[in-house]
Each structure stands twice: as C-alpha cells, then as structure tokens.
C-alpha cells in the first residue's frame, strides 16, 4: 500500500506500527483519549497510552489490514500533486479497514456478503474517527474515497481473493456517519438490533441499540 495518499485537502500516512514514544502513538492516543472523538466507539475513551495500544493491536500488522492517519493541510491547494506532501499539516483522524474475524459482530446473510462466495470473497469492515475540530467539513468522505480508490487499484494486495466486500456498522442514531456512507456509495442493507453486555456508548450505558448496516464491493470481477 502507498505510504502516503494526497487529496486537495488531506494527507494520509500509512500506519504500520505504534512504537513506544513514537509520534504515531502520541497522535493515536490524542484521538483515542478524546471523549468527543470516541463518542460512538464501543471501545470507549482511552485513559492511558496502554488503552490506546490495546485498541490498535487488533488492527495493526495483520494481513489485508489498512491503516492511515489523517492530516489536513494548513493551507490546502486545488491539486493532488506530490509537492503537497511537503506542506504543513495538522493531525485530525484515522481510518482503518480490517478483515472480519472471531471478534467481529455476526450478522444474518441478508446483511452480509453471500455465504456462497466465502471462498473467493474477503469480507472486511471499515471504521474511522476524527477529532472534533475536523467535524462537519467533509473530511470523512474525502479520506474514505482516497482509501477506497487505492483499494480498487491495488488488486494484487488482496490475493488470493477475487472479490473484496466491505461493511460499515453505524449506530442508527449517528446521522452524520450514515450520510457519509451514502456519499461514498455504500448500500444500506438494513438495521440490525444488537443486544449484549452493557457498554458505554453515546454518553450512556446501553445493552441494546440499532445498528445500520452498509456495504459494498470494493473489488469484484
């Protein structure tokens, strides 16, 4: 995967490790320790650096996993050229795409990729998070489109799979993220009613909620 992606307003830098004392770990913790940034996160707000590392361990250095830190240009231009990479930036968020595994939320087939395609299709999930100063400016849409475009171009990255299906799970009270998924071309498959152990989400303790399920094929024949 490209180490750097550039859009007119954003610079995305590939994240592959979080070494103790590294700038990457400091940025990740800035994001994960912000109560507003983590408002919709089932993992909650990180109290310590170790909390942040624990969350990221599940999505780092695993095959077919993609992580980018997102920075905005302080003085953006209208081009995507390489000269943009040297301009001053400010950290604002993170986006990740990871393969579904044992810890992923199981969904009925009508909300997932067809089971018949399981041997040839890699099922993934996408997540993103931004600092409050970056909300409402279209950065989520811009960064997701950049990452999804890369995923479509780098077909060899997904070998041996022929198709890549990506889902997004959005709390049905999170209207802003639902709009983002529609803007990037994801299809709303339905709403899943989740029940489980008590978690702190959206400012309150819950044991159930509605989850809007979105999905699309990033790679297919």
pTM (two decimals): 0.93
- If one counts every other C-beta atom within 10 angstroms of the C-beta of residue 60, the result is 17
Average pLDDT over residues 125-133: 98
* CATH number for position 41: 3.40.630.30
Residue range 10-27, pLDDT digits in tens: 999 999 889 999 999 999
> How many structural domains is the chain composed of?
1
The C-alpha atoms of residue 93 and residue 132 are separated, in whole angstroms, by 9
What range does the domain containing 63 cover?
4-219
The rounded mean pLDDT for the chain is: 93
Torsion of CA 13, 16, 19, 23, to 10 degrees: 0
CB 72 within 8 A of CB 140: no
pLDDT in tens, 134-169: 999 999 999 999 999 999 999 999 999 999 999 999
Contacts 24+ apart (CB under 8 A), 145-149: 145/7, 145/184, 146/5, 146/7, 146/10, 146/12, 147/5, 147/12, 147/66, 147/68, 147/95, 147/97, 148/184, 148/218
Q: Measured between alpha carbons, how far apart are the two ends of the chain, in Å? A: 21
């Amino acid at each position: 995967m490209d180490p750097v992606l550039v859009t007119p307003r954003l610079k995305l830098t590939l994240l592959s490790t979080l070494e103790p004392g590294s700038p990457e770990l400091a940025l990740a913790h800035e994001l994960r320790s912000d109560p507003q940034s983590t408002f919709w996160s089932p993992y909650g707000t990180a109290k310590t650096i170790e909390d942040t590392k624990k969350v990221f361990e599940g999505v780092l250095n695993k095959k077919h996993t993609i992580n980018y830190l997102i920075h905005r240009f302080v003085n953006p231009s209208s081009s995507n050229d390489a000269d943009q990479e040297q301009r001053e930036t400010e950290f604002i968020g993170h986006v990740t795409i990871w393969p579904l595994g044992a810890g992923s939320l199981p969904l009925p087939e009508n909300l997932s990729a067809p089971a018949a395609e399981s041997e040839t299709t890699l099922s993934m999930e996408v997540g993103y998070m931004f600092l409050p100063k970056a909300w409402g400016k279209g950065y989520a849409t811009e960064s997701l489109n950049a990452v999804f475009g890369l995923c479509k171009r780098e077909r060899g990255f997904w070998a041996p799979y022929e198709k890549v299906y990506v889902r997004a799970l959005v709390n049905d009270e999170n209207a802003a993220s639902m709009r983002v998924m529609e803007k990037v071309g994801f299809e709303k498959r339905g709403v899943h009613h989740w029940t489980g152990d008590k978690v702190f989400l959206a400012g309150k303790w819950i044991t159930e909620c509605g989850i809007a399920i979105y999905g699309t094929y990033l790679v297919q024949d």
